[in-house]
Amino acid sequence: MADSLFSTIEHFHEDRPWGSVLDAGTGAHSLGWICGLPTESWTGITGDPHRRDRMKRDFSSRIRSHDRILAGNWTDPGLLAGETFDVVLADYLLGALDGFAPYFQDQLLPRLRPHVRERLYLVGLAPYPDRAKTPGGKAVLEIARLRDACILLAGHRCYREYPLEWVKRSLESSGFVVEQAESMTIRYGARFINGQLDVCVRKLKYFQDPVMAASMRMHIESVRAKALALGELKSGGIRFGEDYVMSARPA
């Protein structure tokens, strides 16, 4: 789905030059896409210094003299102070922010506004509904709840997603004009199932109760086996939930 989302951004951008690009919550996937664009320069920001070091190593052959990967937190008013960029990308940044800057979501878009010269592209995941009608949808919800339970039991913070309409209101009150928005149904496959349940496994070492951790490990593998056996995986994937892409310009 992420490639479709980036293709949508390219469609929104039309034939305008990319110029300088800020990846405001960078990761390997988004930065890999940016490296394939005809940019003059790019800057990637991550809240994790270890991820910064890893990405500097992994992208060493693609970093040009004007490109950079920085570790920083958007709660820091000195981060990129006085700098502006032609294009700013916020790729799932709102959802991930709770792990680095809890309760700062309503301030993120006003914080990014001074850095945007031409366009802000925002990618988000619509919050899951409380219930699902299909076996695949029920499996996605079960996996998501299990993942969050393991994160909380490890003493860590979960992501917090926001719906498109909330983001639209926040953009407009932050000095942006929303130009385009598109939602797309997500198709989940085995990669999603294994990736999310592997997160659960990695959290087990932080559990305070080793007996609970051992029991949870067995439950995780039971959920994995049940989900991977779903027939929907063989017919194009599990259709459930929505991603969205928004294009906005400074008012």
What φ, ψ does residue 103 adopt, rounded to 5°?
Answer: 65, 15
Residues 116-146 pLDDT 10s: 999 999 999 999 999 999 999 999 999 999 9
- Domain hosting 6: range is 2-250
pLDDT confidence tier of residue 2, bands split at 50, 70 and 90: low
- Assign 99 a pLDDT band (cuts: 50, 70, 90): confident
Query: What's the average model confidence in pLDDT over 47-63?
Result: 96
* Number of structural domains in the chain: 1
d(CA 50, CA 100): 14
Burial of 66 (0-12, 13-18, 19+ CB in 10 A): exposed
Angle (deg, nearest 10), helices 190-203 and 135-153: 20
227-248: per-residue pLDDT in tens?
A: 999 999 988 899 999 999 999 9
Q: What are phi and psi of 154, to 5 degrees?
A: -80, -5
Rg of the chain taking only CA atoms, in angstroms: 19
Give the per-residue pLDDT at 3: 85
pLDDT (tens digit per residue) in 184-198: 999 999 999 999 999
pLDDT in tens, 57-79: 999 999 999 999 999 999 999 99
How far from each other are the two terminal CA atoms of the chain, in whole angstroms?
30
Look up the pTM and report it: 0.93
What is the token pair recorded at 100? 């680095």
Residue 15 in contact with residue 124, Cβ under 8 Å? no
How far apart CA 71 and CA 176 sit, in angstroms, is 26
Q: Which CATH number goes with the domain that contains 166?
A: 3.40.50.150
- The residue count for the chain: 251
